Homo-oligomer: A and B are copies of this chain.
């Protein structure tokens, strides 16, 4: 049985994994879903990427978790790469789940199309705290395209504004790329948050940066933790097993 630590993406918080965790536990696993610093409702959003990373490191150390299968979703992929550098001896495998795998020296925004960059710039500039709130029509059409309207709305209500600074910080990933930790890429094939294809898509553009990795695919959108949590849990187990 495995110990999973699930790191959410932008706009989300740890509770997004509730149904997935329930299923993982029903299958005999342990699973934890910390909320990244600066994320969630009603918290101070003034964080940078290093502070986001440190909050997950602190969570793992404070609970003294070991032999972890550490999963990062979307933006969470940039977090788990840096967490892996900090506590590599506690981690058995990394799972990048429709997640950013940045090249050494990249910032997240280097890896998204110009129109998304322009949208995020505008949203952050128009906010009073350098955050971006995802437009609801983008959520419905591009993020959770496999949900019905009720689920699209109820899941949107769980989102909160995303601090912009962590998207802009350049990440030193030289150590990450030398770690001998096993890696999986879990890819939902209807994810259209990044335009599919060679230029901007999640897979194989991001995934192939991992070198040797285990590919696991499933049907569904970027947001299967809401639209198919049981199916997602099954694939997380396959991605995480020995």
Write the nearest CB–CB distance from A16 to chain B, whole angstroms. Answer: 21
A128 within 8 A of partner (CB): no
Q: Which B residue's beta carbon lies closest to that of A191?
A: B215
Taking CB atoms and an 8 Å cut-off, the chain A residues in 184-215 that contact chain B are: 189-190, 192, 195-198, 201, 203-205, 207-208, 211-215
**Chain B neighbourhood of A214, CB < 8 A:** 140-142, 145, 192
**Chain B neighbourhood of A189, CB < 8 A:** 217
- Docked complex Cα distance between A196 and B146 (Å): 24
Total interface residues on A, using CB and 8 Å?
Answer: 35
A64 within 8 A of partner (CB): no
A123 within 8 A of partner (CB): no
Ordered by A's residue number, 21 sampled pairs between the chains whose C-beta atoms are within 8 Å are: A138-B212, A140-B214, A141-B214, A142-B213, A145-B215, A146-B216, A146-B238, A148-B241, A149-B241, A149-B242, A189-B217, A190-B215, A192-B213, A192-B215, A195-B204, A196-B203, A196-B207, A197-B198, A197-B204, A198-B198, A201-B204
